């Protein structure tokens, strides 16, 4: 059979059918697995190369199916699933960085990632340097002899900054620096960083991969040698994905491409409707021509994704009045849901940053992040426009 399209892989790759002849993929909701003999049991524990299930903290067929699908969609060799997206990020840092190492990271990262880099890494003797996503030419000057990793979100949270992944790979490859890309906002339906030169790609599967705000999960994919190291860390420290969550997520992947196409279609239409509104200073969306990195987004993304941001005039108070005036859109700190979500990063997800840190990554007091859902786009727009009138 010819090579399957990613859309087909997301639907058709699944656990081998059991003797029950089920059509839908089965859920292996078990903590452990049995053996045919004492010898088989002993071999399972003595030989790490054996492809055998021992305990669901180590591996589980349902979790393995989810990993295989994401790896296929990202053009990766293998992967590891984790309980949350933050467990994926922390696992990567702890596996590949040690005391005395240095990491270069974009300053525009999720608030909890910022906390790990600035609060916990220094305690363990791991140093960090931040660079501005809008000044990629500054990266090389930050690299030291002990730099082991370059970490970036693209698009970034919440500013939707875009950076050229191929440019980063050209910096990292000759220096043997691991390039790690958080692809959560784009998803593999929109962008495949490994194809562009990344070594490891990670996701909070809680977001668009689930798509309906039901379960938590994380996943990291890359080449087999790197994944083997990461797998041993996850296996031994315990932040493994539950089989039930994996089953929900692997079913969600069957509709990922359809959903992301619609999220992006709605988001672009909404961005165009809001652009130039009297109560907004600016609108930012990767596929709006006014986006500073529009050309890069068009080069490495198949769509602009499902998120947009804008700045309401009037700062913090206006931002809160806007949220309080919403009637349809949800106020929650999640994103990537079938339902449209509005949030105010300065007072929530990025509230731990100082004012200087927030402004350096474009998080102004009036910044609103919209995770555009799958509702009829005119209904989404009507709610946001009426809330703007009231703020």
Domains in the chain: boundaries: 6-255, 257-390
Q: Model's pTM, two decimal places?
A: 0.94
DSSP string computed for 279-333: TEEEEE-TTSTTSTTHHHHHHH-SS--SEEEEEETTHHHHHHHHHHH-SSSEE-S
Question: What is the helix (H) or strand (E) element at residue 12, kind and residue range?
Answer: helix 6-12
Residue 216 CA to residue 213 CA, distance in Å, equals 8
Residue 81 CA to residue 59 CA, distance in Å, equals 9
Instruction: Quote the pLDDT of residue 50.
Output: 65
Contact of 239 with 84, CB cutoff 8 Å = yes
Instruction: Quote the pLDDT of residue 267.
Output: 98
Fold of 6-255: 3.40.640
Fold of 257-390: 3.90.1150
Tokens of 116: 């790990």
Mean pLDDT per 10-residue section of the chain, whose length is 391 residues? 89 91 93 93 81 90 97 98 98 98 95 93 97 96 98 95 98 98 98 98 98 98 97 96 98 98 98 97 97 98 98 92 96 95 84 77 90 98 97 85
pLDDT tens-digit map of 233-286: 999 999 999 999 999 999 999 999 999 999 999 999 999 999 999 999 999 999
Which residue from 102, 124, 245, 94 is spatially nearest to 177, judged by alpha carbons?
A: 102
pLDDT tens-digit map of 39-61: 899 998 887 776 888 889 999 99
DSSP string computed for 59-116: --HHHHHHHHHHHHHTT-SEEEEESSHHHHHHHHHHHH--TT-EEEEES---HHHHHI
Q: Are strands 102-106 and 330-331 parallel, antiparallel or unpaired?
A: unpaired
Residue 52 CA to residue 239 CA, distance in Å, equals 20
């Amino acid at each position: 059979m010819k090579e399957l399209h990613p859309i087909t892989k997301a639907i058709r790759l699944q656990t081998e059918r059991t003797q029950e002849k089920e059509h839908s993929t089965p859920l292996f909701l078990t903590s452990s697995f049995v053996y045919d003999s004492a010898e088989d049991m002993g071999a399972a524990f003595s030989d790490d190369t054996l492809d055998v299930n021992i305990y669901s903290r180590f591996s589980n067929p349902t979790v393995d199916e989810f990993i295989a699908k994401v790896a296929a969609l990202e053009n990766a060799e293998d992967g590891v699933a984790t309980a949350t997206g933050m467990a994926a990020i922390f696992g990567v840092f702890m596996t590949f960085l040690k005391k005395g190492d240095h990491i270069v990271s974009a300053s525009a990262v999720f608030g909890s990632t910022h906390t790990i880099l600035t609060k916990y890494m220094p305690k363990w003797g791991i140093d960090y340097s931040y660079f501005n996503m809008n000044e990629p030419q500054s990266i090389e000057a930050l690299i030291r002899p002990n730099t082991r990793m370059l970490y970036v979100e693209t698009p970034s949270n919440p500013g939707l900054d875009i950076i050229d992944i191929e440019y980063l790979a050209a910096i990292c490859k000759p220096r043997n620096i691991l390039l790690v890309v958080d692809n959560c906002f784009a998803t593999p339906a929109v962008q495949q960083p490994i194809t562009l030169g990344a070594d490891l790609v990670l996701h909070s599967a809680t977001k668009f991969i689930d798509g309906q705000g039901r379960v938590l999960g994380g996943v990291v994919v890359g080449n087999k040698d790197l994944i083997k190291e990461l797998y041993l860390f996850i296996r031994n420290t315990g932040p493994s994905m539950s089989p039930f969550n994996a089953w929900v997520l692997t079913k969600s992947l069957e509709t990922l491409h359809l959903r992301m196409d619609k999220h992006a279609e709605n988001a672009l239409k909404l961005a165009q409707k809001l652009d130039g509104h009297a109560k907004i200073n600016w609108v930012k969306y990767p596929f709006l021509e006014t986006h500073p990195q529009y050309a890069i987004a068009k080069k490495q993304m198949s769509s602009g994704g499902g998120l947009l941001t804008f700045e309401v005039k009037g700062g913090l108070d206006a931002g809160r009045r806007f949220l309080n005036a919403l009637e349809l859109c949800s106020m929650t700190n999640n994103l990537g849901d079938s339902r449209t979500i509005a949030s105010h990063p300065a007072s929530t997800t990025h509230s731990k940053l100082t004012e200087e840190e927030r402004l350096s990554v474009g998080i102004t007091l009036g910044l609103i992040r919209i995770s555009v859902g799958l509702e009829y786009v005119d209904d989404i727009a009507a709610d946001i426009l009426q809330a703007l009138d009231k703020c």
